[in-house]
Amino acid sequence: MNITELEGYWKLACFEIQAKVGEDVFQRHIEPLKLLGLSDSGVVSIETDNNFSKTFISNNYLGIIEDALRRALSNKFSQVELSVAVTQEELPDVPFTIDEPAKPVSVSAIKEEEIGFPLNENYCFKDFIVGPSNSFAAAAARAVSDNPGKSYNPLFIYGDTGLGKTHLMQAIGHEALKHNSDVVVCYTTTEALLNDFVESIQKGQQGSISFRQRYRSVDILLIDDIHFIAGKTALQEEFFNMFNDLTLKNKQIVMTSDRPPQEIHGLEQRLVSRFQAGLITSVESPAFETRLAIIRYKQQHNNIRVPISDQVLQFIAENVKSNVRQLEGALKRVAVYAESFVAGTEPTIDDVRNLIKDMLEEEVQPDLTFGQIQKVVAEFFNITIADIMSKERSQNIALPRQMAMFLCRKLTKGSLPEISRAFDKTHATVLHGCTTIKNRMEQDPILKRQVENIAQTLGRSPEELYLTVC
């Protein structure tokens, strides 16, 4: 197989890899890889820039890369062999975690000390498709970019993964810089902020002072996944003071989360209060019309040189519903297929159905297990499955346990005796728990929203909660 043909298969594999690891990880770690060739024994040779990259990819992404290539190349593939382009001095042996940079990267040319991640050039307002599911959030983001620190401060955007929260947030940064190139924008994640905070503590007093000076000197702080701050007492204390300092200076803060502030368990009430003082808005899953508009736009603006019929675009929009990221991934996969394997002819619906078979299967809801529900509920409330299974009767344990019972009753085909055995509780206890949650949902809108959010996390529509009676 020549290198040109192999590159076609590599592109297909890359779309699957990108869908699994996310765009940011893909751009930083996978896209720079250089494809060298395929041996007769099925070994795909890939070159990295340095030993650090080789070790990091081997520890975190090699299995994902090999799985994707195995599906693309079928029996022609056996394994991946990573090599280093230029011999460099070995870097220190440090623990690696997925999507965790050793140090944040600068987004402001005027800051001598590096802070935050670079803004993605594709995450601008002009590339964000507005529909009923996100129109309010988009309008709020534009207002903030026009008047940072004055309109809606802080701005809190929440919603499921892949719906455009990060896109909107970074678009604010881009637009603000267009208005004033001297503005200091910092985009980061809560995980990176935590890593930076821990590192500053390890450096002693001077490290802590430097940390505060850097983050409190920005004009716009964009922070992703703020819900990960839950339960981290020291970081919450530091962020509380940082938040107060920035807002007193009329500096803009924008945050994203998978849920609204009042539903982030383990978040101190004083932070909840601060977050609620600004504007809270959500992004929802796009309707069919918006999904179709998105892929039509992407087809026109992403250098797709092969013809793709509107019938095919409609098929994708009708069947890939989970999030925008998956939708874009499906379009890219079809475009590469048409360009590399069918000599520029338009792919048929059958071609596309086979090409995105894995995505279509993901859209089909699998049967939920009791264990899955217990796990998601435990994670939502920052407790363990052991806590749910325990005899502990305190409210912070009993309520999640009852929610898990209620969700098992509503979202599975399990009988009361089966649910009883799964929780190691009596039939009467399970029935009481289900009834308690049902009654409280009718009276407590916050609790109702919590249960619905957990159902959505499990891939189920909130409407399913009201189809039957416990």
- Let me know whether 144 and 243 are in one domain: yes
Three-state DSSP class for 156? strand
Query: pTM higher than 0.85, yes or no?
Result: no
**Residue 96 belongs to some domain of the structure:** no
Which amino acid makes up residue 210?
S
List the one residue out of 460, 432, 412, 464 whose CA is nearest residue 422: 412
Instruction: Enter the tokens of residue 188.
Output: 């980061």
Paired with 155 in beta bridges are 254, 279
Average confidence (pLDDT) over 11-17: 83
CATH of the domain at 335: 1.10.8.60
Matching residue, tokens 């001095």: 89
The answer as to whether 413 is a domain residue is yes
- Planar angle of CA 322, 326, 331, nearest 5 degrees: 130
Q: Which residues contact 285 (CB under 8 A, 6 or more apart)?
A: 133, 160, 163, 321, 322, 323
**Burial class of residue 92 (count of CB atoms within 10 Å of its CB; 0-12, 13-18, 19+):** exposed
Last residue of a domain, one of 236, 261, 282: 282
Domain count, the chain: 4
Q: How far is CA 452 from CA 129, 140, 163, 201, 208, in A?
A: 26, 25, 18, 39, 40
The C-alpha atoms of residue 256 and residue 21 are separated, in whole angstroms, by: 19
186 and 222 in contact (C-beta within 8 Å)? yes
Q: Is the pLDDT of residue 174 over 90?
A: yes
Phi/psi-derived region of residue 52, left when phi > 0, alpha when psi is between -120 and 50, beta in every other case = alpha
Domain boundary among 52, 84, 116: 84
How, if at all, do strands 34-38 and 43-48 pair? antiparallel
Question: What's the mean pLDDT in 184-211?
Answer: 90
Position 104 in a domain: no
| Confidence band for 161, pLDDT divided at 50, 70 and 90 | confident
Structural domain ending residue among the three candidates 263, 282, 301: 282
Determine the Cα angle at 363 with ends 358 and 365, to 5°: 120
Structural domain range at position 307: 288-363
Query: pLDDT tens digit string along 65-119?
Result: 988 888 888 778 888 999 887 543 333 333 333 333 333 333 333 343 457 888 9
| Residues 300 and 262 grouped into a single domain | no
Beta-bridge partner residues of 185: 220
What rounded mean pLDDT belongs to the chain?
A: 83
Q: CATH number of the domain at 399, please.
A: 1.10.1750.10
Residue 314 shares a structural domain with residue 410: no
CATH assignment at residue 151? 3.40.50.300
Residues 370-392: tens digit of each pLDDT:
999 999 999 999 899 999 999 88
To the nearest 5 percent, what fractions of the chain are helix, strand and coil? 55, 10, 35
**Do 58 and 141 sit in the same domain of this protein?**
no
Task: Examine the domain organization and report whether 298 and 344 are in the same domain.
Answer: yes
